[in-house]
Chain A
């Protein structure tokens, strides 16, 4: 194997073709690739049982649009890279929690999905970080929050109003998705993945469909792709509009908060007109889609889209013209470009720091995307708002293009097909830019059409540490606003 082993993101690979490294060489190789500027896509175990187990690392060279992957011999203990490359820290913690692997010198060897209340920690206190000092105080929030929102525990170390440190303890939403996926029958996988993060049903279903199509060597019709990207961009629209409204609400600017809540509902209704379900459940199929549009429905959707666009742009314009809103957003919860790179952030949060990461660009779904990622530089709440505003405009245009193409195209989508059998011992990946950022699904097939590994990496998994860091040296009252501007998924992280 050569050192420059790499592959295109859409090709499945036989596991036997991957370079294998012994013990410490695996870590050395990983460190070398990361120091060359590659991004860690996944670090996972290859066997479903406890250590010693072989590990698999997948990295992306975003500029070249190539991936690289390599495996280790069975391991029990290896040096941690978390201090040098913070983007590794959660992956390493996950491996020690699930497989009992020991990462020596890990600076933050804490649970990932074992909550402070969980029975496993009984008799032992959850190792929360604590700041000592006469005027330092601690604020604990959750798991049950004030609003209608998923559970998580937040612990602030405060000096007066200022946050010295925020620790986020998750795991309350852990439903055992990945374990269920390995056991699930083929027709159960899509419904399960649509529930990984309910607001990203299309994103996760699309990632799974793509992964299966790569394994089964299936191609979709152009019409099916329009129907897929249409649903994906509608999902982005609904969520971005909702998020912008929620941020307006947290700054106390109620007009846009109220309007956006309603407009988000209008976009969900459009998704329901296409799929029957407000979140697009059941739309995706392996090899195609389950719903088509006729010319009349296309025209009706276009009309609704135009109204929603006018209303959303008007609502957001009023909000961004208000100096009191801008003043509240500017400089709040800022992250630098270097921090974003080090943590391996993705999606809106990364682009708000000037990091041009967008799976629609690096691993496009369709051959020639006419697309430039929306960017902002300041890394604060305002930057995240501006990125969402730009992406909202772009998504309106993309949905319009898809609807036009579907209206003109007179063919009908035949629906799902059956592909070949999945080849055994093969690695396949799918990367889809959901509204939060890059969704990664990684599968390694075993014997008998089963999966040996099915790894789901929601963008939230990469971005939660960003929120914790963004709160440093901000006021504790900035937390709700920062939290809304990240809008991360709890269940997507906890799986």
Chain B
């Protein structure tokens, strides 16, 4: 007993006062890419270097789909003009799929909705059911870690629950394998309406590296409308938390 208490004193209080304090991100962390369309030439080296086909050339300029991006930085290394750089911005969750596509025509993401979103009843108590549909366990791990001491998700009133019947929404990871499609639909329907759907990771948003696989549906199917997209492969836990808090504000 005394041993446990002594160890407890040593292990200290570790929860970060987020969002009042900014989290520690390592020097080499690669966040949201920034594109300088003025610098972009006519080559397609970035497109060739991209392992997940997140970059497409559209006429004069390129477009980069954060929903497919692995944040590996291969495009930034390949670009001879220095038009692509990886920023340290970890807040890149979006309420709208089209906001994830960076092109010269991308507007600044819509910050606040014009009308109240769905229902305000979830604002201070949001219960989510996680469904892994072919996720490689990285997105799952970085979602799960939000329950640990540093993040302490519970203090924001957000919890992961065991049954979809107890949940206000689902958080989906993975490219949605054919073998999980039925289970995903069943879980979605088991959540009482109004319900929230959150897509975490490139796979859930677009299929990611598995977009072309004949065994996957290429991310969450259209029948399940998504309310929040958190890009990344996997997204940093702070990106997921920032996304969840942004969603909570909208509710």
C-alpha gap A273/B73 in the complex (Å): 16
A143 → B minimal CB distance (Å)? 5
C-alpha gap A490/B35 in the complex (Å): 37
User: Do B137 and A150 have beta carbons less than 8 Å apart?
Assistant: yes
C-alpha gap A269/B133 in the complex (Å): 26
B149 an interface residue at 8 Å Cβ cutoff?
yes
User: Do B7 and A180 have beta carbons less than 8 Å apart?
Assistant: no
**A151-B183, A176-B213, A261-B145 known; A198 and B10 CB under 8 Å?**
no
Chain A residue numbers with a CB within 8 Å of B162 are 146-147
Chain B residue numbers with a CB within 8 Å of A261 are 145, 147-149
**A188-B51, A279-B234, A318-B3 known; A149 and B140 CB under 8 Å?**
yes
User: Do A148 and B210 have beta carbons less than 8 Å apart?
Assistant: no
User: Do B72 and A281 have beta carbons less than 8 Å apart?
Assistant: yes
Task: Provide the B104-139 mask, 1 if CB < 8 A to any CB of A, else 0.
Answer: 000000000000000000000000011111111111
Stretch at the interface among B36-44, B59-67, B174-182: B174-182
A160 an interface residue at 8 Å Cβ cutoff?
no
Chain A residue numbers with a CB within 8 Å of B182 are 117
Stretch at the interface among A17-25, A35-43, A166-174, A443-451: A166-174
User: Do B51 and A191 have beta carbons less than 8 Å apart?
Assistant: yes
Chain A residue numbers with a CB within 8 Å of B139 are 198
User: Do A175 and B28 have beta carbons less than 8 Å apart?
Assistant: no
Interface residues of B in 137-165 (CB under 8 A from A): 137-145, 147-150, 160, 162-164
A491 an interface residue at 8 Å Cβ cutoff?
yes
A485 an interface residue at 8 Å Cβ cutoff?
no
Chain A residue numbers with a CB within 8 Å of B144 are 147-148
Task: Provide the A145-186 mask, 1 if CB < 8 A to any CB of B, else 0.
Answer: 011111100000000000000000001111110011001000
Interface residues of B in 5-24 (CB under 8 A from A): 7-8, 10-11, 14, 24
**A173-B177, A175-B216 known; A187 and B135 CB under 8 Å?**
no
Tell me the number of A-to-B contacts counted with CB atoms below 8 Å.
186
A259 an interface residue at 8 Å Cβ cutoff?
yes
Chain B residue numbers with a CB within 8 Å of A171 are 179
Chain A residue numbers with a CB within 8 Å of B85 are none
**A115-B179, A191-B51 known; A255 and B7 CB under 8 Å?**
yes
Contact for B214 among A144, A176, A291, CB less than 8 A: A176
Chain B contributes a number of interface residues (CB within 8 A of A) equal to 66
A30 an interface residue at 8 Å Cβ cutoff?
no
Chain B residue numbers with a CB within 8 Å of A250 are none
Chain B residue numbers with a CB within 8 Å of A197 are 136-137
Q: Which residue of B lies closest to A269 (CB)?
A: B26
Chain A residue numbers with a CB within 8 Å of B215 are 174-176, 179
C-alpha gap A180/B207 in the complex (Å): 13
Q: Determine which residue in B11, B129, B210, B234 has the highest number of CB atoms from chain A within 10 A of its CB, and name it.
A: B11
User: Do B148 and A118 have beta carbons less than 8 Å apart?
Assistant: no
User: Do B130 and A276 have beta carbons less than 8 Å apart?
Assistant: no
A71 → B minimal CB distance (Å)? 28
A311 an interface residue at 8 Å Cβ cutoff?
yes
User: Do A276 and B52 have beta carbons less than 8 Å apart?
Assistant: no
30 of the cross-chain contacts (CB-CB < 8 Å) are A115-B179, A144-B164, A148-B130, A148-B160, A172-B180, A173-B177, A175-B210, A176-B210, A191-B51, A191-B72, A195-B136, A195-B138, A198-B135, A198-B234, A199-B137, A258-B148, A262-B149, A272-B29, A276-B30, A276-B73, A279-B234, A281-B72, A281-B233, A311-B11, A318-B4, A321-B3, A489-B137, A491-B134, A491-B135, A494-B177
Q: Which B residues lie at the A interface, using CB under 8 A? A: 3-4, 7-8, 10-11, 14, 24, 26-30, 49, 51-52, 70-74, 129-145, 147-150, 160, 162-164, 174-175, 177-180, 182-183, 186-187, 209-210, 212-216, 233-234, 236
Q: Which A residues lie at the B interface, using CB under 8 A? A: 113-115, 117-119, 143-144, 146-151, 171-176, 179-180, 183, 187-188, 190-192, 195-199, 201, 255, 258-259, 261-262, 264-265, 269, 272-279, 281-282, 291, 311, 314-315, 317-318, 321-322, 489-491, 494
